[in-house]
A = this chain, B = another copy of it.
Amino acid sequence: MHNVISNLSEFLEFNEEEGKAFESILIYKKIKKNEHLLVEGEHCNYGVFIQKGCIRHYYLNDGVESTGNFFFENGWYADFESFLYGKPSMLNIEALEDCELYLAYKSDFDKLVIQYPIFNNFLREMMERTIKGLTGKGMTMSLLNPEERYLALIKYRPKVVERVPLKHIASYLGVKPESLSRIRTRLTKNDKNLT
Interface residues of A (CB under 8 A from B): 59, 61, 66, 68, 80-81, 84, 90, 120, 123-124, 127-128, 130-132, 134-135, 137-139, 141-144, 174
Partner of A131, one of B61, B80, B141, B174: B80
Chain B residue with Cβ nearest A148: B61
B142–A66 touching, CB < 8 Å:
yes
What is the oligomeric copy number? 2
Q: Is the interface of A mostly helix, strand, loop or mixed?
A: helix
B135–A138 touching, CB < 8 Å:
no
When distances are taken between beta carbons in the complex, the residues of chain B under 8 Å from A134 are 131, 134-135, 138
Closest chain-B Cβ to A68's Cβ sits at a distance in Å of 7
When distances are taken between beta carbons in the complex, the residues of chain B under 8 Å from A131 are 80-81, 127, 130-131, 134
When distances are taken between beta carbons in the complex, the residues of chain B under 8 Å from A139 are 59, 90
- Pairs A–B under 8 Å by Cβ, sample size 28: A59-B139, A59-B142, A59-B143, A61-B143, A61-B144, A66-B142, A66-B143, A68-B138, A80-B131, A80-B135, A81-B131, A81-B132, A84-B128, A90-B139, A120-B120, A123-B124, A124-B124, A124-B127, A127-B127, A130-B131, A131-B131, A131-B134, A134-B135, A137-B138, A138-B138, A141-B141, A141-B142, A141-B174
